[in-house]
Every structure is written in C-alpha cells, then in structure tokens.
C-alpha cells in the first residue's frame, strides 16, 4: 500500500516534546506531506499563562522537522480540515479522536470524502505517565519524560563540596541591586518582574521584607539566621496558613528538606518551612519540583535580591548541580 498524499496535524505544541515527535513521525511515515497546524496565541491563552509564544512553538518544530513538514497558524478548533479537498488523512491522539470524527461528519455534509484517521497512542514517561505539555508545565517531567527528582533520589542526603563554591556564589537569576540596610528597594524591583506563578521566598530577610511590604509569599523558607548569624528579631510567621518543620544541616540537602518543599508546593495554603539548620541550598530543590513560572527570590549578601523564574533551563541547571553533590545516606 502506497503512502497517503497529505496529512493534517493540529495542536498547541507547547514545549515540543517526545510525544509531539512521535505524533509527527507517524504522520511522516504514512504521508508524503505533513501540514502542522499550530494554535495561535489567542486560542492558546486560556490554556496556561506560561505557554510559549506561537513563534517559539513553531520554531521548535521547524528546527526538528524535515522538508516534508510545513507549519501553519490555527485560528479555530477545527482549522481547514472540514473543507480542504487536497488532504486525505489526519493524525490524532486518543483524546482528540472525537474532534477528528466531527471533522469527517462535516466533510460528508460538504460533499467531501472523509479523511483517513490515524490514531497515535500516547508516549509514556519513565514512570508510565503520559508525556504532555501540561505535565511539563507542572514541573513533573522534562521533554523526554524523565522526572526531575525521582523517588529514590528524594531519599538521598546531598553534601556540598568546595568545588561548587564559586558556582553557587554567583547569582542564579536576575540580580536586583539595593542597599543592604533597605532590602525593600531591591525586593520591590524584583516584584515588578515576577511571572504569573507562585512566589517562593528563601531566607529570613527576604521573607521579612516581603511581609513588611504586605506580600505573603506562597512558600517561605527561614532558618533564623542571616549571614550565618542568628537573628535577634525573628520573622513573624503568624501570617502563614501552615507551618512545616525541616531538618537540614548546613551544607546539605536532606530528605526532610525535599519532603517539606514538595508538601508546600502541593498545598493550596501559604506555607512557611522552618528549617532547623540552613536553607541556603533550598532553591535547587524548589526549581526541580516547582511548576514552570514559579518565582524564586532570595537575598544576595551586600548586593541585593535575586529573582529566578522556574523554567526548563533552571531545572536542567539544578539537576546538573545536584548530580555533582556527594551522596551519603
């Protein structure tokens, strides 16, 4: 049996991942030409505030695709499929099968031959879940379906070593400068640049500054110290809905800290994690476990406030950093 002539594929294609690749590879296997119809920014806006732009989504496909694939802007849920005479097939996943059947009903009413529907099963991640853009945006998996911090690694105790010292002392994000005696100046500038996601504040001074500004972070991590010196005036924690304790000695990342951060990220209440030890390394775990678009703020001694918004690059960097820690159980 020869190949089909022209196959249509529609979707959002946010964070172009292995599931998308499997879909398009099937289309290329069955058809000579493949048209990829990508939902435009107006259509996609309701899905997520952190969705990639249409041009970025299209570019990711074009970088991967061969010359038999063309990309087009999709302005409605059905696209050109109900009226096109020069197409003979359409690709779908199990949840979009009904939409394709609806298209064929419309084609029959329009006097056109129904499209051959090719249903492609979902691509699964390493734990058997579906690789999807929504799960990537939720911070659960990467584009290849690997979890950012698996259950086994969550039970490890990670020990800092001196080879990472210079790298970790550099601001990992955008530094907003400000005088140390007036931290609200730098913090105000950082708050003007936050993404639509939640706010995670790491460090007593950062948390106290936000609270003084009338901003209750979704998650706070405090250890009662600043610059390794015990604070005389403790942060007022009564404004938080939930208080969690974690044990995390200096220079370590413990299962206790990991579990506490994970619990806070899954809570719908404002949460403060009181760390018995030190919370300096907590941003590594926050970025690994947090949804895309989470705002992580912490103080940079004598310089100001650092804001880093969780994205795939931040997650990759933190996974790489954690892999270079010494693991002791």
Tens of pLDDT, residue by residue over 58-97, are 999 999 999 999 999 999 988 999 999 999 999 999 999 9
Beta strands at 157-159 and 116-119: parallel, antiparallel or unpaired: unpaired
Range of the structural domain that residue 32 is part of:
4-137
Q: How many domains does the chain have?
A: 2
Q: How confident is the model over 276-294, as a mean pLDDT?
A: 97
Could you give the CA distance from residue 15 to residue 228 in angstroms, rounded to a whole number? 40
Q: Are 297 and 199 in contact (CB under 8 A)?
A: yes
Q: Are residues 214 and 276 in the same domain?
A: yes
Structural domain ending residue among the three candidates 111, 137, 163: 137
At 83 the pLDDT is 95
Q: What is the pLDDT of residues 179-222, one digit of tens each?
A: 989 999 999 999 999 999 999 999 999 999 999 999 999 999 99
Predicted TM-score (pTM) of this structure = 0.92
Residue 243: pLDDT band with limits 50, 70, 90: very high
What proportion of the chain, given as a percentage, has pLDDT over 90? 86
The reply to whether 148 falls in a domain is: no
Q: For residue 10, list its beta bridge partners.
A: 37
The whole-chain average pLDDT of the chain stands at: 93
Q: Are residues 14 and 109 in the same domain?
A: yes
Could you give the CA distance from residue 286 to residue 214 in angstroms, rounded to a whole number? 23
Q: Are residues 131 and 159 in the same domain?
A: no
Q: What is the pLDDT of residues 213-229, one digit of tens each?
A: 999 999 999 998 765 55
The closest alpha carbon to 258, from 307, 325, 212, 198, belongs to 325
Q: Are residues 173 and 45 in the same domain?
A: no
Structural domain ending residue among the three candidates 79, 111, 137: 137
Examine the pLDDT at 46 and tell me if it is beyond 80.
yes
Q: Are residues 104 and 218 in the same domain?
A: no
Q: Are residues 130 and 229 in the same domain?
A: no
The reply to whether 22 falls in a domain is: yes
CA within 13 Å, CB half, 255: 11
Q: Are residues 234 and 118 in the same domain?
A: no
């Amino acid at each position: 049996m020869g190949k089909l002539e022209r196959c249509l594929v529609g979707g959002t294609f946010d964070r172009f991942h292995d599931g998308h690749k499997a879909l398009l590879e099937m289309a290329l296997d069955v058809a000579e030409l493949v048209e990829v119809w990508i939902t435009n920014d107006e259509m996609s806006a309701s899905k997520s505030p952190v969705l990639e732009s249409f041009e970025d989504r299209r570019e990711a496909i074009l970088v991967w695709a061969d010359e038999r694939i063309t990309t087009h802007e999709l302005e409605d849920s059905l696209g050109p499929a109900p009226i096109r005479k020069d197409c003979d097939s359409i690709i779908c996943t199990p949840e979009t099968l009904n939409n394709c059947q609806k298209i064929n009903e419309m084609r029959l009413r329009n006097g056109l031959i129904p499209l051959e529907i090719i249903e492609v099963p979902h691509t699964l991640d390493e734990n058997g879940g579906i690789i999807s853009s929504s799960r990537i945006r939720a911070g659960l998996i990467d584009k290849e379906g690997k979890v950012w911090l698996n259950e086994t690694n969550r039970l490890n105790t990670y020990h800092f070593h001196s080879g990472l010292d210079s790298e970790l002392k550099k601001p990992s994000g955008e530094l907003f400068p400000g005088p140390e005696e007036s931290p609200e100046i730098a913090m105000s500038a950082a708050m003007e640049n936050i993404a639509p996601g939640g706010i995670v504040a790491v460090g007593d001074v950062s948390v106290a500054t936000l609270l003084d500004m009338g901003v209750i972070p979704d998650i706070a991590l405090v250890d009662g110290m600043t610059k390794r010196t015990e604070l005389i005036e403790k942060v007022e924690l009564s404004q938080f809905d939930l208080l969690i304790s974690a044990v995390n000695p200096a220079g370590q990342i413990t299962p206790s800290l990991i579990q506490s951060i994970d619990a806070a990220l899954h809570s719908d209440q404002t949460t403060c994690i009181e760390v018995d030890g030190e919370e300096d390394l907590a941003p590594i775990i926050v970025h690994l476990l947090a949804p895309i678009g989470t705002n992580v703020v912490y103080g940079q001694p004598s310089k100001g406030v650092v804001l880093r918004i969780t994205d795939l690059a931040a997650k990759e960097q933190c996974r790489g950093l954690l892999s270079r820690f010494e693991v002791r159980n």
